[in-house]
Amino acid sequence: MNGATKVGAYVLGLAAVFGGALGVGRVVGPVGETPAAASHDAGHSASPSKTGGEAEKPAVPGGLQVSAAGYTLVPRTDVVEPGKPVDFRFSVTGPDGRPVTRFTPEHDKKLHFIVVRRDLSGFQHLHPEEKGGGVWSVPLTLPEAGEYRAFADFAPEGADGMTLGMDLSAPGDYRPEPLAAPVRTAAVDGYTVALAGDLAPGRTSRLTLSVSKDGKPVTDLEPYLGAYGHLVALRDGDLAYLHVHPDGEPGDGRTAPGPGITFYAEVPSAGAYRLFLDFKHGGTVRTAEFTATAGTAAAVPAGEDAPEADGSPATEDAEATPSPEGSHDPGDHDH
Ligand SMILES: [Cu+2]
Q: What residues contact 175, with CB distance under 8 A and at least 6 apart?
A: none
Boundaries of every domain in the chain: 1-60, 67-170, 185-332
The model's confidence at residue 60, banded by pLDDT at 50, 70 and 90, is confident
Task: Report how far ligand 1's centroid is from the alpha carbon of 112 (Å).
Answer: 4
Task: Report how far ligand 1's centroid is from the alpha carbon of 107 (Å).
Answer: 7
Task: Report how far ligand 1's centroid is from the alpha carbon of 303 (Å).
Answer: 40
- Model pLDDT for residues 107-136, shown as the tens digit of each residue: 889 999 999 999 999 999 999 999 999 999
Domain range 185-332, CATH architecture:
Sandwich (2.60)
Higher-pLDDT residue of 250 and 333 is 250
Task: Report how far ligand 1's centroid is from the alpha carbon of 227 (Å).
Answer: 11
Task: Report how far ligand 1's centroid is from the alpha carbon of 138 (Å).
Answer: 12
Whether the full predicted model's pTM is greater than 0.85, yes or no, is no
Which residues lie near ion ligand 1 (Cβ < 5 Å)?
112
Say yes or no to pLDDT of 299 above 60: no
Q: What is the pLDDT of residue 56?
A: 52
The model's confidence at residue 66, banded by pLDDT at 50, 70 and 90, is very high
Task: Report how far ligand 1's centroid is from the alpha carbon of 204 (Å).
Answer: 22
- Model pLDDT for residues 167-225, shown as the tens digit of each residue: 999 999 999 999 999 989 999 999 999 999 999 998 889 999 999 999 999 999 999 98
Which CATH homologous superfamily contains domain 67-170? Immunoglobulins (2.60.40.10)
- Starting at the earlier edge strand, list the strands of the sheet with 86-93: 67-68, 71-75, 86-93, 135-140, 129-130
Higher-pLDDT residue of 249 and 89 is 89
Task: Report how far ligand 1's centroid is from the alpha carbon of 49 (Å).
Answer: 20
